Structure 1
């Protein structure tokens, strides 16, 4: 059984990675400054803010829908009032 030679003449073990495989497994060195870890998150406060944002969005959407329906109603009324008056 022929195996790939290594320095010193010792054959590579099958469970030992080759040099090029080992280099691929190494993580690259980070560039730039190393930042501290982010502060811990208070998920209770996060969820309260998320619920509040969703409620605000729902209220805004309802108000815009009502405004649109009122505008359509006014446009229809205007068209009825001005129909045939040219």
Structure 2
């Protein structure tokens, strides 16, 4: 037998709001000013900046690695 009732066995009424509808009605209104949508993204400029940042990071990492190796060589001569 198909039952239209909820877990407790009480039948649902057509004019009774469902739980999720009541939860939406009780949601608080947003506070503060409504912000305009963000400007559109120029993905070409974004990708150029990303590539430049990655190249800078690679150069910095290579320079730090060279400094570390020079420091290790220097310190091994001291000991």
With the length of structure 1 as denominator, give the TM-score of the two structures.
0.67
Task: Tell me the C-alpha RMSD between the 2 structures.
Answer: 2.5
The corresponding residue for 2:33 is 33
Bigger CA radius of gyration:
1
Please list every run of at least 4 consecutive aligned residues from structure 1 whose deviation after the TM superposition is greater than 6 angstroms: none
User: For structure 1, which runs of at least 5 residues remain unmatched after alignment?
Assistant: 5-10, 80-86
Question: Unpaired segments of 5 or more residues in structure 2?
Answer: 4-9
Number of aligned residue pairs: 70
Distance in 2, matches of 1:74 and 1:51, equals 35
Normalised by the size of structure 2, how large is the TM-score? 0.72
* CA distance in structure 1 between the partners assigned to 2:74 and 2:21 by the alignment: 74
